[in-house]
């Protein structure tokens, strides 16, 4: 539990995962925006400051909208789940494949620019 007025960013430790639970519905965007800003503000900040895994597409879309509202300066890349099962006879939707591909390319480009090498 975080004390009132304390940021979750204060709990970050290099090389250690940070698990957050019981974040109020609708506040996820604010919390993740605060974390992303705190990571990006550090010396030798990584190219991609934060990766969040959502349990479904609706939550991913809601979090993306919230991040755009709370932190318009942060680039949000969405990497959607495939809309088919492994070994299914049906291929994934081309829009899903395109969005995932665009996000992967953008993430790789950000990494390459930040590190001055191919990622």
The domains of the chain are located at 21-115
Rounded percentage of the chain residues whose pLDDT exceeds 70: 67
pLDDT band with cut points at 50, 70 and 90 for residue 69: very high
Structure tokens given for 81: 């789940």
CA pair distance 77, 51, nearest whole angstrom: 9
pLDDT band with cut points at 50, 70 and 90 for residue 107: low
pLDDT band with cut points at 50, 70 and 90 for residue 115: very low
Whole-model pTM?
A: 0.65
Structure tokens given for 105: 């390319």
Host H or E run for residue 104: helix 94-115
Contact indicator for 12, 38 with CB cutoff of 8 Å: yes
């Amino acid at each position: 539990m975080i004390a009132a007025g304390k940021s979750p960013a204060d709990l970050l430790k290099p090389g250690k995962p940070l698990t957050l639970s019981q974040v109020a519905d609708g506040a996820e965007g604010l919390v993740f925006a605060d974390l992303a800003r705190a990571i990006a503000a550090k010396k030798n900040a990584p190219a991609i400051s934060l990766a969040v895994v959502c349990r479904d597409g609706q939550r991913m879309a809601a979090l993306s909208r919230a991040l755009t509202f709370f932190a318009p300066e942060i680039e949000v890349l969405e990497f959607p789940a495939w809309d088919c099962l492994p070994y299914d006879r049906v291929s994934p939707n081309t829009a899903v494949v395109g969005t995932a591909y665009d996000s992967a390319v953008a993430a790789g480009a950000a990494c390459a620019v930040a590190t001055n090498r191919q990622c």
